[in-house]
Amino acid sequence: MKEKRVPVWGILVGGLAVFVAAPALLLATGHDTIKPSADSDKALSLAGALVPALAGMLLIRGIPLHAPKLLPEPTDRGRLRKQATALVLIAFLWPLALFLVSMAGQQALVRDIWGLAKPLVFLILPLLLLRTRGEPDPFRLTWLPRQAWRWLAPLPAVLVFGWLYVLGPLAPPLPTSEDYPDPVYLAVGATLTFFTANVLEEVFFRGMLQTRLEALFGRWPGILLAALLFAWLHLPTHGQGSLPLTLGAIVAFQGFFGLFTGYLWSRYRNLWAPIAAHTAMNTVPLLLM
C-alpha cells in the first residue's frame, strides 16, 4: 500500500495544482479570453470555458445514481501498467510530434493530417497494443449498457453543459453562414468531426486511457491524468501566442472539459454520455447556423 499512496497523492496534488494554475496564469497576464477551436477566430471568455464544465460536474455529483464500482479489479497489474504506459505515450508523443512540425513552419501539414490520422493513432494502434492473447480483456468497452439509469442519470449534466456552452449567457457567438459558406463542405466537416473528435477522442481518452489509469491509481488520479493528456492533444492546433499562454489556455478549456467528460465516464460508464457532451461542444453550434 505504501508504494501506491505516494504516486496517487503526487498525481492528485500535481494535477490539481495545474488546474488551479492555468486559469490563474491567464488572469494574471490579462488574458481572459480563449480561442475555442482551431478554425475559429471568435473569442471564448475564460468564464465561458470554466462554468459549463464545473456546472456539469456539480450536477453529476448531486445526482445520487452512479456507478462507483463498475471497474473490475485488475488481476494482472503488470500487464495493466504496460497497457497504460503505451496509451500514455501515444497521448503524449503524437501531439508533441505535431507541435514540433508546426514550429518548423508546417502548420498547413498539421491541419491536413490532424483529423485524417486520428483513426490510426487513437483507434487502430491502441487496439493492437491492447489485444490479449487468448485471455478476456477485463476493460473491454460496453457500448450499450443495459441499466436504464446509466442512460437517464447523465442527461441533466449533459443538457445543462450543452445549454451553457452553446446558448447560455457566457456562450461564444454562434457561427454564421459567412463563416461556413459551402453547405456541402460544412456537412462533410461536421460528419468527420463527429467521428474523429467526438467519438474517437472519447473512446481513446476516456474508454481506453482513463479506464486503465483509474484501475491503477483510483478515480480522481485517473480523471486528472486523462484530462491533462486530453488538453495536451490540442497543443499543436490551439496556439495562443507564447507557449505558457497556450498551455494555460488548453488546460483551462480542453482540460476542464476533460474533467467533466472524465467524471461522466467514471460515474456512469456509458461512453455515449461524454460523446454527447463532446458533440454539444463541437457539432451542435454548426447545426444551429
Q: Over the stretch 119-158, which tens digit does the pLDDT of each residue have? A: 999 999 999 998 876 667 778 888 898 889 889 999 999 9
Would you say residue 285 has pLDDT above 90?
A: no
282, three cell numbers: 463541437
The DSSP bridge partners found for residue 192 are none
Mean pLDDT, to the nearest integer, of 75-95? Answer: 93
- Alpha carbon distance 166, 3 (integer Å): 44
pLDDT digit string (tens) for 202-237? Answer: 999 999 999 999 999 999 999 999 999 999 999 988
Mean pLDDT, to the nearest integer, of 169-177? Answer: 76
Percentage, residues of the chain above pLDDT 70: 89
Give φ, ψ of 198 to 5 degrees. -60, -40
pLDDT digit string (tens) for 31-54? Answer: 888 876 655 667 889 999 999 999
255, three cell numbers: 482540460
β 33-34/44-45 pair status:
antiparallel
Alpha-helix residue ranges (DSSP H) falling in the chain? 2-28, 46-62, 77-103, 107-116, 118-119, 125-130, 149-152, 155-166, 183-193, 200-202, 211-217, 219-233, 243-250, 256-268, 272-282, 284-287
pLDDT of residue 192: 82
- Torsion-angle region of 85 (φ positive above 0: left; ψ -120 to 50: alpha; else: beta): alpha
Would you say residue 84 has pLDDT above 80?
A: yes
pLDDT of residue 98: 92
Mean pLDDT, to the nearest integer, of 171-176? Answer: 73
Buried b (16+ CB within 10 A) or exposed e, 163-176: ebbbeeeebbeebe
Q: Given pLDDT bands bounded at 50, 70 and 90, which one contains residue 172?
A: confident
Mean pLDDT, to the nearest integer, of 177-192? Answer: 73
pLDDT of residue 163: 94
The pTM (predicted TM-score) of the whole model is 0.92
Mean pLDDT, to the nearest integer, of 67-74? Answer: 71
